[in-house]
Amino acid sequence: MESLEPNKYSLAIHTTSPELGLALSNFADDSRCQTWNLGRDLSTLMHQHLTDFIQPQTWRDLAFIAVAKGPGSFTGTRIGVVTARTLAQQLDIPLFAISTLAAVAWELAQNLEINPNGAYALQMPAQRGQIFTAIYQFQIPSRLTQVMPDTVTTPDAWKQTLETLEIPYQPIDIPVGALLGASVSSLLKLAYLDWQQGKRPHWAEALPFYGQHPVADKINSSSVAGEVRSPEPELN
């Protein structure tokens, strides 16, 4: 398992809910995390919070970045992914796009006593009466396995899926308007576990998950890549 070089840090950005979450760590002796409930001001205030939060470290101290790719707020997810892609491109460092639901599952696994062979069946409201769903299994000491990928479905179809699930699971219902920024530390940890295994994803591979029709998702991913831009932090 690899470790970060001395004086190198990793940064996580979580914007899929009204709560901005930022985390920074060298995974040795220096870690910090902070959240802000910004609501509709997320797009205008995020970059100032990001610039202030990273100090006294600098952008050049970063070894990699992690970002919540969704599901969640369309606009918030878009802002976070665009910002993370811009930073990773300019700094020429890896960018890990991590599922919002995976970060929630990891957060729960760290704070609840669960069957190490059990799983989390997560659901979160989507639009038009549908729900986002996923199943993740936590295994001691530090492993999160994707049993069923993030998807968007109907409550009835989700119920049928759970009825046929052959492993123990704990249902997790994420309510409308839930503030998810606090799981940013879990987001960063999941990215670090991948980094330790030698994964180095290119920034261009980081695409948002909106849970729409594949054609619509493709169009939206293209707009993230170039058509829609958010203000770029200054890299000093």
Give the domain extent around 117. 101-173
146, part of any domain = yes
Cα distance between residue 234 and residue 21, in whole Å: 20
109, part of any domain = yes
* Total domain count, the chain: 2
- The pLDDT assigned to 139 comes to 79
> Between 177 and 118, whose confidence is greater?
177
Last residue of a domain, one of 150, 173, 196: 173
Judge if 189 and 207 occupy the same domain: yes
Judge if 190 and 204 occupy the same domain: yes
Judge if 70 and 131 occupy the same domain: no
**CATH code, domain with 186:** 3.30.420.40
- The pLDDT assigned to 217 comes to 47
What is the per-residue burial (b if ≥16 Cβ within 10 Å, else e) of 76-97? bbbbbbbbbbbbbeebebbbbb
Instruction: Give the DSSP per-residue string, 49-113.
Output: HHHHHHTTS-GGGEEEEEEE--SS-HHHHHHHHHHHHHHHHHHT--EEEE-HHHHHHHHHHHHS-
**CATH code, domain with 128:** 3.30.420.200
Mean pLDDT of 219-233: 46
201, part of any domain = yes
Question: What's the pLDDT tens digit per position in 155-210?
Answer: 999 999 999 998 889 999 999 889 999 999 999 999 999 999 999 999 999 999 99
> Between 163 and 229, whose confidence is greater?
163
Q: Look up residue 202 and give its two tokens.
A: 């290119």
Mean pLDDT of 15-34: 96
